[in-house]
């Protein structure tokens, strides 16, 4: 056996042990996927660990975030503006929330443009996603209002995603 082989084998073993978690290894759905911020204040870091600099501080519980990578207990996320960084998994929730985008929208009683209005909502308003099917998603906004918005009016759900 050549002297370099055991060192190479050890290097490969350590590289494998230190490799980031891949989609599915955590038991969660594949990447990318949406989640929401669990806390009122969440540090967005330059890398996957507390030793990395805080680049940004989110100050909005339930803000939707797209998980685009995993490394151990850390998740790389992207927000609606395209900012990316790392957060600890404990600061994310599997509860699905969406943010209203574009202009002012009309929350409808049923999934149709002709359905009666329930409320008018401004861009940036957050709603708890209850269901998405076809071109519409059902949300609860502010605890008092439930209704439907066109999928294209929301950030936090994929174009072909269906759930109830």
pTM for the full predicted model: 0.82
User: Percent of the chain beyond pLDDT 90?
Assistant: 80
Please indicate, yes or no, whether residues 91 and 103 belong to a single structural domain of this protein.
no
Give the mean pLDDT of 129-153. Answer: 96
1 in a domain, yes or no? no
Per-residue pLDDT at 92: 98
Q: What is the number of structural domains in the chain?
A: 2
Please indicate, yes or no, whether residues 74 and 120 belong to a single structural domain of this protein.
no
Residue 10 pLDDT class (50, 70, 90 cuts): very low
74 in a domain, yes or no? yes
Q: Which domain holds residue 45?
A: 20-95
Please indicate, yes or no, whether residues 41 and 87 belong to a single structural domain of this protein.
yes
Please give the structure tokens belonging to residue 132.
């998405």
Q: How far is CA 79 from CA 2, 13, 37, 64, 82, in A?
A: 51, 35, 10, 7, 5
| Residue 139, domain CATH | 2.30.30.40
Please indicate, yes or no, whether residues 90 and 104 belong to a single structural domain of this protein.
no
4 in a domain, yes or no? no
């Amino acid at each position: 056996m050549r002297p370099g082989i055991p060192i190479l084998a050890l290097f490969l073993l350590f590289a494998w042990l230190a490799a980031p978690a891949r989609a599915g290894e955590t038991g969660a759905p594949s990447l990318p996927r949406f989640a929401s911020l669990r806390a009122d204040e969440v540090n967005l870091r330059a890398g996957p660990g507390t030793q990395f600099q805080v680049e940004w501080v989110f100050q909005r519980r339930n803000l939707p975030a797209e998980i685009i990578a995993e490394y151990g207990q850390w998740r790389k996320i992207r927000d609606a503006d395209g900012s990316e960084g790392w957060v600890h998994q404990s600061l994310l929730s599997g509860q699905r929330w969406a943010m209203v985008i574009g202009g002012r929208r009309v929350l409808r009683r049923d999934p149709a443009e002709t359905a009666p209005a329930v409320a008018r909502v401004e861009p940036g308003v957050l709603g708890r996603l209850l269901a998405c099917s076809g071109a519409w998603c059902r949300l609860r906004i502010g605890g008092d209002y439930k209704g439907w918005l066109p999928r294209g009016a929301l950030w936090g759900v994929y174009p072909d995603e269906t759930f109830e």
